[in-house]
Structure 1
């Protein structure tokens, strides 16, 4: 018995591992296949445990088998009854429809008004899908999108979501069409059904066309799922899942059969009927060509549920690790050392930082784990951008008064707030003396115009007080990690030759990879400003060269392994 329990525990362990691989997207893009293999492996100890128990329950099994045979027909009938109940529950609403209380004249006027709304929603769906087809934005790689293109996608998608929700309202309103007595008011019954089913077909057809446009571009799906700007969370996911939901498929097919029965009683215009039948035919042809949708959607649900289960664990581990430092010594770079190099820095400079012996370094690839953006004081900003034709600090005050207030203040040690960065609480301002209180510090300067650099600062300011992204994903903008803040600020201004990469199914540009790409473009797109190197063995700071900084990204993650 003990051996059987162990086998069951092993089986459960493989199931948990499969969920972890699926949720964390380990070894992306093969994570789904690996999770499936782990799930299949989990059956091996389960089957072994079952066979080991066969000898113990063989006699009981024979008895149960003999007794169970007469109940097979009852079981089949019971399943049929349950199926019939489910179909009736889905297709026939229990609550009384508001359509019943309307007189024939009132219902006729209501149907006429809602037919106009239906036509408007139909045209909106056509316009949006046509515009996306023409501009090709939904097929683009997310990392190549400009801010204007992102804004265009979000704006059009918001209109699509609003049309989707309005179609839901019409469907719900006419869901009780069956309660309009067909014998007494056959035309009104048929017209009420037509609005409900027409909205269903129109909505489903538009959703399927949107899914075809997005395709397998999962980063675009993430962008569309991002809440904000009037768009609810997971809007694309909900829309896509609706396509294969059992209730939706049941209503689609039942509606098609019922339409053939009552179409002779319709009083709507022949143009509307012809358009409806064209959309219905197009929809079923498209759906027939996408059987993979019925496989992908359940996998998407499993993956999302696994992700939701593991994300709190991932966040908690990240937060707890941020408190752990395995050395008690002070950081090598002190405010006094920084004061010697302070005059080399200009607003818009990119800072990369490393603190030895921090547990958070474990989960961040490469030598450099953090990056920030030097802003400078308001006076330094005015001096750096004095040729723009306006006072830069006043522009900041006008656009972002809370940022202006922060830049006008000082930290607890009396140092001015001159750095914007994203750390565990979120996007904040800190003094250089606190932000760069580390063991290694690199500073580079993008070779851009004053106008482009100032726009980059404004872009960074627009993210002030946004939360830290513990999911570490560049696709969305509502939460940001440190390198995402810097990357997106300059992407909107230049952009610079920096390219995110896919890591475990997420679009990322880790700080160390950012330094590697910067090193490839030194003298072309970036200028070297400063490298404060450290020697753990000698316990001191060394001013490094441009060459040593360019090679720093290749250093081992752990300082003890360095020469």
Structure 2
């Protein structure tokens, strides 16, 4: 007899728990792929459970409140499964983290250096954004404004380099989960803090760039053209 209804939701919960245990303990080879498989199977099970419940609700009018209560477990389990899949795909790296192999003293030294580097990158980014905001962008939007476009290209090149610096810091410390949070809780938290700070600041800087330039399609097209130092479609 096919598994249906509450049994399907219960199975999805079990699959979610197995996925989180695999992801958290890293006790078996290919734990990342296995956890993704568990989360994927759990989501498929939830979809089947929703379809089964929808078939039962289809005949006759069902109050919205009853519908909401009836589907609430499905949505909660689906949210947990999606969160786990996102964590496995984004937060957990495919290869062992280089920061996890460092001795505590070496880690603290690199962390201090990279924190200082992040401060420098943020300062350079603020300077670039200030120069960009001070430009006459309406004039630079004219393809005939050669001087303004040369200035814009120079500022943009520095901005792309800064974005690469943000990316490097995020990539290095995004594997903070590989630093044991039980024996090295402080290092684990500091690695997360640096990765998160780099991510948030890069997002805020990118948002500011969009606010400044998104109203000028010709500038966007100009910045998307490749140069010797900047790849194509660097604005997008």
Query: Could you say which residue in structure 2 is the equivalent of 1:124?
Result: 124
* TM-score normalised according to structure 1 size: 0.28
The structure having more radius of gyration, on CA atoms, is 1
Q: Does 1:69 align with 2:60?
A: no
C-alpha separation between the residues in 1 aligned to 2:211 and 2:171? 26
Aligned ranges 1:295-444 → 2 under 5 Å? none
Residue 65 to residue 122, structure 1, CA distance change in 2 (3 Å) = closer
SS at match of 1:235: coil
Residue 130 to residue 145, structure 1, CA distance change in 2 (3 Å) = farther
Greater relative contact order (Cα 8 A, min sep 6): structure 1 or 2?
2
Shift of 1:202: 1.7
SS at match of 2:187: helix
Shift of 1:77: 6.6
Question: Could you list the per-position Cα deviations for residues 276-328 of structure 1 after superposition, in whole angstroms to 9, with x for gaps in the alignment?
Answer: xxxxxxxxxxxxxxxxxxxxxxxxxxxxxxxxxxxxxxxxxxxxxxxxxxxxx
SS at match of 2:142: helix
Q: Does 1:194 align with 2:193?
A: yes
Residue 149 to residue 103, structure 1, CA distance change in 2 (3 Å) = same
Aligned ranges 1:75-90 → 2 under 5 Å? 76=75, 79-80=78-79, 82-89=81-88, 90=90
Residue 66 to residue 195, structure 1, CA distance change in 2 (3 Å) = closer
Residue 182 to residue 220, structure 1, CA distance change in 2 (3 Å) = same
Paired residues of 2:179 and 2:187 also in contact (CA < 8 A): yes
Residue 222 to residue 192, structure 1, CA distance change in 2 (3 Å) = same
Query: Could you say which residue in structure 1 is the equivalent of 2:209?
Result: 210
Residue 103 to residue 155, structure 1, CA distance change in 2 (3 Å) = same
* TM-score normalised according to structure 2 size: 0.65
Query: Could you say which residue in structure 2 is the equivalent of 1:143?
Result: 142
Which has the larger helix fraction?
2
Shift of 1:91: 3.2
Which has the larger strand fraction?
1
Q: Does 1:185 align with 2:184?
A: yes
Shift of 1:76: 4.6
Query: Could you say which residue in structure 2 is the equivalent of 1:269?
Result: none
Query: Could you say which residue in structure 2 is the equivalent of 1:221?
Result: 220
Shift of 1:189: 1.8
Work out the number of aligned pairs and report it. Answer: 172
Unpaired runs of 5+ residues, structure 2, are: 1-50, 58-69
Root-mean-square deviation over aligned CA pairs: 2.6
